[in-house]
Amino acid sequence: MNRLNMKKHLFAIAALTLVGNVWSQRKIEYVEYDLPNGIHVILHEEHATPIVAVSIMYHVGSKNEIPTRTGFAHFFEHLLFEGSTNIGRGEYSELVEKNGGALNANTSQDRTYYYELLPSNQLELGLWLESERLLHAKVDNTGIETQRQVVKEEKRQRVDNQPYASFLTEMFARMYQKHPYKWQPIGSMEHLDAAQEEDYVNFYRTFYVPSNSVLSIAGDINIEETKKWIATYYGSIPSGQAINLFRDFENQSDEAFLKTYGIAKTKFDAKNFLGSKDAEAQKVIKKYSAMPTVIPRPERNEPPFKGVVIDTVYDNIELPAVFMGYRLPEQTNPDAYALDMLNTVLSGGTSSRMNKNIVEKKQLAMAAFSFAFPLEDPGLGLVAAIGSANVDLITLQNALDEEVKSVQDALISQEEFEKLRNGKENDIISAYSSVAGIAENLAQNYMYMGSTALINSELTKYMAVTREDIQKVAKKYFTPENRVILYYLPKPKN
């Protein structure tokens, strides 16, 4: 290499290092505040693309269900597209599409999330749509019946007809004795069938209330204007139990309302409910506004997992498989970062240890993987493999154990560590490339990570993980004497 080239090279490195530093200083800016009725608002303004993500995250998931009514949280993710007092049945998605947007929703054990991605000049529409869903969605038998069929079809497609797909249900059921994590968000179709309209209405009244929601908006917005619209559409949503007073006002007959509240509906102003002039009405509104909605949350009363549970599941599969579950800490635990990186070492990508050793070299498995279910309450980590033909499951299990043990026994190599960090950095940075991703991340961080600000320190936290940390969490959580082992075998023929 001659001198000139060397200099060029150095220049390039210097230039690029500088750029690297720019990243670590780049922050995702946001403002957050609470509305008087308890809605937490997070706004992120960026004008790179003329679109906006409007989302509401409700702090309700399958863990808030009662054991005889499982599947409710997920069911609502479907039901709440049926419309509202001011939105006709089926009109929800039509309105979004007609205005150039896209929408979707999803449910976990811990929360339910709804969002629209719209051209930024349709922000107000998005705010109105979500406020309608929160204030007075249609929860009635027509919608319930329609969505029962849809959800059943979804379960057939996603769970029943997918080989091995029952492992989540089977694993969580054995890992938890008391905690509602023992059932899956998809829940029981029998429960959904058995439930009456009243059960659904009560679920809505309990969990779909202002104080249980985070309104997160990211994209091409003007913060001041957005705040004004939020005050209009969300500030007008009654607080406390007054929201259910309002819902009853809209839905109940005169007699029923009078019976419940001891005041005639006519005393209220239908067009301006909170501003009803009648003194008696104001008194009732005030009384119910002050009455907080109590959100039932499960206790973290699950005893630590001790011993080994071994079971066999017969499924419509061709190749046997083994799934091993370990108890992991709640996702706010500082160990969570190292645990995530441990999973990547074991099975992230084609050059990961499990894939290289178990799938490619030893050819014991068609696929081998490990992943964590980070949850609000203590969750679960999984190490699993689908065997190659004619491989017995004990051999396969031993091979998996060997990989875990190798991380416990020795530090991962420096090179492997670098690859890990590079990949993680790329993942985290790419996750912030879309406003939809930012909106969800902000809401999630506020709702259960304890701090919205975490969005700007996530990478730092990952980069602070050492090789020793990875070894430490491998030893601490992946103990062979405390786990669930599930063997999956093909259903016996004929």
Partner 1 sequence: MKKIILSGALILVAAASFSQLDRSVRPKAGTPPTINIKDSEVFTTENGITVILSENHKLPKVSIRLVTGSDPMNEGSKAGLSKIAGQLIMSGTTNRSKDKLDAEVDYIGATLNADGESMYLSCLTKHVEKGLTLMTDVLYNANFPDSEFERIKKQNESALLSAKSSPDEMSDNAERKANFPNGHPYGEIMTEATLAAINKADVESYFKKVFTPRGSYLVIVGDVNKAQATEMVNKYFSTWKGGPVYKAELGEGQFNKGNRVIFVKKPGAVQSKVTVTFPVKMKPGQPNQLPLTVTNGILGGGGFGTRLMQNLREDKAYTYGCYSGIDITDNGSWFSASGNFRNDVTDSAIVQILKELDNIGNSYVKESEINLTKSAMAGGFARSLENPQTIARFALNIIQNNLPKDYYQTYLKRLDAVNTENVLEMAQTYFTSKNCNIIVVGNEEIIEKLKVFDADGKIEMFDAFGNVAKEVKPADITKDQLIEKYIFANTGTTTMKAANKVIKKVKSVKQVMEMSAQQIPAPLTMTTFFVAPNKEAMKIEMQGMMIQKEYFDGKVGASSNMQTGKKDLTAEEIASKQKSAGLFPELTYSTSGLKVDLIGIEEVNNTEAYVLKIVDGEKQSFDYFDMKTFMKIKSVSIQKQGEEVIEASRSFSDFKTVNGLQFPHTMTLMMGELGLNGKVISIEVNGTVDETIFK
Residues between 358 and 397 with contacts to partner 1, criterion CB under 8 A: 366, 388-390
Q: The tokens 């993987």 sit on which residue? A: 369
- Contact code string over 29-68 relative to partner 1, x by CB under 8 A: -----------------xxxxxx-----------------
Among 106, 395, 413, 430, binds partner 1 (CB under 8 A): 430
Bridging pattern class, strands 321-327 and 380-387: antiparallel
The token duo for 223 is 């913060």
- Contact code string over 124-163 relative to partner 1, x by CB under 8 A: xx-xx---x--x----------------------------
Q: Quick count: other Cβ atoms within 10 Å of Cβ 314?
A: 11
CA distances (Å), origin 282, targets 135, 201, 239, 260, 380: 19, 25, 14, 16, 49
Q: Please state the separation of Cα 319 from the chain's center in Å.
A: 31
What are the residues facing 166 on neighbouring strands? Answer: none
Q: Does 121 bind partner 1 (CB under 8 A)?
A: yes
Q: Name the minimum Å distance from CB 256 to partner 1.
A: 23
How many residues bind partner 1 (CB under 8 A)? The answer is 81
Q: Name the minimum Å distance from CB 99 to partner 1.
A: 5
Query: Which residues from 250-289 bind partner 1, rule CB under 8 A?
Result: 271-272, 274-276, 282, 285-286
Query: Which residues from 227-246 bind partner 1, rule CB under 8 A?
Result: 231-233, 235-236
Contacts of 56 (CB under 8 A, 6+ apart): 113, 114, 115, 130, 133, 134, 213, 214, 215, 216
- Contact code string over 307-326 relative to partner 1, x by CB under 8 A: ---------xxx--------
**CA 158, CA 107: separation in Å to the nearest integer?**
14
Q: Name the minimum Å distance from CB 120 to partner 1.
A: 5
Query: Which residues from 72-111 bind partner 1, rule CB under 8 A?
Result: 85-86, 95, 97-102
Which range binds partner 1 by CB under 8 A, 118-126, 141-149, 152-160, 167-175? 118-126
For the residues of 315-334, what is the DSSP string, one character each?
Answer: ES-SS-EEEEEEE---TTST
Which range binds partner 1 by CB under 8 A, 67-75, 139-147, 347-355, 404-412? 347-355
CA distances (Å), origin 209, targets 74, 135, 136: 17, 8, 10
Q: Does 27 bind partner 1 (CB under 8 A)?
A: no
Task: Determine the length of the chain.
Answer: 494
Which range binds partner 1 by CB under 8 A, 62-70, 401-409, 417-425, 463-471? 417-425
62/276 with CB nearer partner 1: 276
Q: Where are the alpha helices (DSSP H) in 298-364?
A: 335-347, 353-354
67/490 with CB nearer partner 1: 490
